[in-house]
A = this chain, B = another copy of it.
Amino acid sequence: MNNKEKLRKAGLRPTKQRMIIADILLDGINRHFTAENLQNEINSSGNSMSIATIYNCLKKFRNCGLIKQVESSKDTAIFDTNINQHHHFLDEETGELIDIENDEVNLRKLPKIPQGYLNNGVEVLIKIKKKI
């Protein structure tokens, strides 16, 4: 399926700007990035785009499940092209994130989901720090 079809399937109009971003992000390679990182990639691909459009687009992509947003208390939002359930190592000093594939983690016991709620995904974060 090409990117135009992916956007259509997600219910998004395949505009010029969304196609530029889809061509960068939806190449099957897993990576973490910020809005600013993406703008730099867009610029170096010879295109340009308003930062507002980039934010709009990332929000739409996230809401449609084309990308994920990482839970992180950094001041800048971090997105992830790996949309499968998976986990992260986080170096709190540098903010660096490293993927952990889902089958690397095995939960023996999970708590009871609160009354009236459904489980909507489990994320394990392993904070790491450099050995001295």
State how many angstroms separate the Cβ of A129 from the closest Cβ of chain B.
5
Q: Does A92 contact B (CB under 8 A)?
A: yes
Contacts of A124 in B (CB 8 A): 107, 122-125
- In A87-104, which residues have CB < 8 Å from any B CB? 87, 89-92, 98, 100, 104
Partner of A117, one of B70, B78, B129: B129
State how many angstroms separate the Cβ of A36 from the closest Cβ of chain B.
16
> Number of residues in A with C-beta < 8 Å to the partner?
40
Contacts of A46 in B (CB 8 A): none
15 example contacts (A-B, Cβ-Cβ < 8 A) are as follows: A69-B73, A72-B72, A92-B120, A104-B109, A104-B110, A104-B111, A106-B108, A106-B109, A110-B126, A111-B126, A118-B131, A119-B126, A119-B127, A119-B128, A123-B127
A-side residues, CB < 8 A to B, are: 69-73, 77-78, 87, 89-92, 98, 100, 104-111, 113-114, 116-131
